Structures are given as structure tokens and as C-alpha cells.
Amino acid sequence: MSEHNYQAFWEEALNQIHQEYAAKGEENEFQIWFNMEYVEDTLNEITVSVASDFMWFKMNDMHYVSSIEAKLCELTGRNLKIKPLIRKNSIKKREEIIEDLKKSSVSKNTDTQNATSYVKPERSEFIQSQNNEPQNEKVSSPLNISTPKEFKIHPQLNSNYTFENFVIGDKNEFAYSASLAVAKNPGKAYNPILIYGGVGLGKTHLMHSIGNYIYNQRGENLKMTYLTAENFTNEFLFSLRNKTTEQFKNKYRKLDVLLLDDIHFITDKEVVQEELFHTFEALYQKKAQMVFTCDRPINELKNIEDRLKNRFTRGMSVNLQLESYEVRVAILQKKIIDMGKRIPEDFPNDVIDFVAKNVQTNIRDLEGILTNLVGYIDLIKKPLTLEFAQNTIRNTLNQIQTASISIETIQKVVADHYNISLSDIKGKKKTKKFIGPRQIAIYIARQMGGYSYPQLGDEFGGKDHTTMMHSFNLINDRIKIDSNLDQIIKVLMREIQDYKKQ
């Protein structure tokens, strides 16, 4: 530790920034992106612990680090730089972190005699690494997770769906953290928790992770059930026909944990909703943990009783979205290693890059492509090449892209929403009434369909690709500060998904 000791300034800088974010109603953003803990300092530098390389990359990319440095400059009058120390598998006390600094030659002659205890970080560790070369060793587990030596398998749960196996990114980190909090304190933290999002984004994975964690930490005597809303419906209707409703009620109203998947299935089913309402009330009264998943926010579900909607959202609702390119790379890297393959010897970086760029639908499609390629590696007994991968999965990629959402569908839904014609949203009219919806449609087409800027230019009046890029970046910047626009775009995206299913 330096004789200057900037820790008090560090804490005051974070406190002031925290207040600024809280005043704007952006408490969650502060908690996620200012997740750094003071470790030590030198004359011109402060070392802080950070969850991962990926987290540090994003903090810099989004200018959060520079905002703290600016605040420190205001308080100290010095241009202090912030230096990261990436946290590893387990939570370490500050003395241990400083010892790691010594070993890695990051810091020398560190005085630890008066070191205070290192504060346990509240947020979870990201798994992604931004190194140029993917890591060949197993990806480290997130922080704060205690995995029993002998993993107990619940008969209704997928043992592969655990928190350790869930790759965390900027769009699912909050959902992950909330789910982990539920697993650690069932019936107390966020009850119920509702996890919603599109197909293949990890809702069921998080639900099973909660169940597996509770089952392994709390013991086998816990009454826990996982089932889909469809199975819940079928079982209840069967009990009505066979006059065994009391048995059904005893089975579900005396649980300690209920994991109910795909609750959107019960729309229009009034009798089932009635029973689920009473099941909810019974479980809530006894502080039993409830976890639900849905393909959209509850308030967008039609033909669901208001009182049941109210119960679903009583605790915490968290959203899962399509992850960025960087996180798709992380998912591929981790699963390749889990499959016993080496990077880059068995699975070259250019192949990972190709798959991550071309599969922008969901995690399930990523896993399908990966399984296909790993299967070929095992068959041909040769290292994988980019050319071979491109030829091997060309048909599968075409199927995925054919099944993806068309630009015209996006244009039609957005045009209908803003009550303008399809020709107006495609055209070149520069009045405000048309420019805004057109830019939103371009943004959504890029996000949902992964279309290139030249492709978008062809579909939006034959404009230059730089115009498309400008439109995308404009909306991308606006949604960071305009929560209303962000919500409108999310609603439009779900409407587009529904339109596609028709």
C-alpha cells in the first residue's frame, strides 16, 4: 500500500456516482457496472478487484472506468489511473489478493500488516475472457457458489443446468444474480421470481439451476417439484375427471419449492388459472419458493386473470435477451471445453468466430451447430478447419437463417404500430413522422435478424450502408438514456415474434 492511501477518496467517488445514478432511477445499472472493490494503491494508480476480463472490457467500453477516474481527479487533484485485478474462483480476503499481486509481479513490497478484510462482492462473476486466444482450461465457476463434492441429482431436473454451467453476459447478468439470490435464500429473496424471454435464451436453465442448488444445499427431504404449465394443466384436468382433486391439491399446495415452466400456456384456461391462484396463495403463505418462466412479460399476456398477474409479479421479474457476439463466443468456448475439445488445437478461433457471427438467434441454435461440428471432429479424427466447418454446417445455417425473421415482417409490425404505411417506412421521406419509425425498424432488423448494413440499405429505399449504420447507432445510443423508447422496442420485438408464429 502506498503512503498516500486513496481508499477514502475511492469510496467517496463511488458514493457520489451512486447518488447520481440513483437520482436518475438507474440503481441497477450502477450495481452491475460499478462492481469494483478497492484493493491497494500507488502514487498514480489504484488497483481494484473486478469480476472478470469481460466485465473490465465492458466497463471500459461503456466509459464507466473513465467516469470514476474523472471523479477521483475532482476529489484528489491527481490523474489517477484504475488498474484491474481479476477475481478468480473463490472469494479471497484482501491479504490473499495482495499476495496474488506479489506473485504476479503486479505489485512489490506490499505492506499488509494493517490491511482490512476484503469486502465480499455482491455481483456474480462473468465467465467470458477477452483474450485474443481462448483459454484451454476449464472456465472458472462464478463467485459465491458452493458446489457440494457429491452432486445430488433430482429426478425432475437436468443435472447439466447449474449456475456453474451458465455463461454470464451483459444482458443476463441481472437475471443470473437474482436467480442465485433466490437459490441461496428460498422463500425469502424475491418470491416469486419470474424469468421471461424468447425461446432458447436460458430461462429453463436458470430455473433448473435454482432447483439444483436448493436440492443440493437444503437436502433431499425438501418437497420440490419441477413441471411445465402444460403438464400442470393436464394433471389438474385429469384430477377433475377422476375426482381426485384433493390429492392434486395436497401434492402441490404442500411443496417447499415449485418450479413451473412456460406459464403462458395457461392463457384462456380459466379453471386452471383458478387452481393455480389458490396453489400460489397456499405456497406464499407458507413461504415456499416459487419460480415461473414465461416467453414475455406478464402484462403482455392476454386472457390471464388480473389477480393471477398480480401474484406472478409480486416478487421479482427478470428478462433474458439475445446475447452479444462476445458472449456467444464465450458460450461456444465453454461448451467446447466441456465437450473435451481443445482450443485452438481441435476447434480453431476462426471457426468459433464464424459460428458466433452467423448464429444470432438463440443459445439453442448455437449448441446445435456446435454439437454438429464436434460430431464431425470425432468422426474424421482430424483438426477442424474454417473451410470444412463452412461446408459442413451450410445447410443448417441456411435453415436457421430461413427461419429467422424477415425484414418485411419487421417493417410491417413497426409501420402498424406507428400507423404509417409499409411504403413510408421503406421509402425516403424525411419527415419526423417517418424517420423515427424507420430508424427503429432498422435497429430491430439488425438486432433480431443480424442483417448486414448493405442488406438493410437495399430494403430501406436503396440507401447507403453508412446511413443504416448511423440509424442503428442513433437508436442504440438513445435507448441507453430513454427508458420509454427501450420499452417500446422490446414490445415491438415481442410483437414481431408473435407475428412470425401466425
Contacts of 406 (CB under 8 A, 6+ apart): 449
pLDDT value for 402: 53
| Nearest Cα to Cα of residue 178 among 31, 354, 353, 299 | 31
List the chain residues with pLDDT less than 50.
Answer: 1-2, 88-147
pLDDT value for 282: 97
- Does residue 317 contact residue 298 with C-beta atoms inside 8 Å? yes
Q: How far apart are CA 411 and CA 205, in angstroms?
A: 33
pLDDT value for 399: 65
Q: How far apart are CA 259 and CA 22, in angstroms?
A: 33
pLDDT value for 213: 95
Which DSSP symbol is given to 191? S
Provide the edge-to-edge strand list for the sheet that holds 36-41: 36-41, 45-50, 81-86
pLDDT value for 87: 61
pLDDT value for 377: 80
pLDDT value for 63: 82
pLDDT value for 58: 72
pLDDT value for 388: 85
pLDDT value for 161: 93
Q: How far apart are CA 279 and CA 430, in angstroms?
A: 55
Cα R_g (the chain), whole angstroms = 25
Q: How far apart are CA 374 and CA 392, in angstroms?
A: 11
Contacts of 142 (CB under 8 A, 6+ apart): 124, 125, 127, 163, 164, 166, 168, 176, 180
pLDDT value for 398: 67
pLDDT value for 10: 92
| Nearest Cα to Cα of residue 263 among 252, 275, 273, 253 | 273
Contacts of 448 (CB under 8 A, 6+ apart): 322, 404, 405, 410, 493, 496
pLDDT value for 96: 46
What is the residue whose three cell numbers read 404509417? 420
Residue 161, CA atoms < 13 Å, CB-side half-sphere: 20
pLDDT value for 500: 57
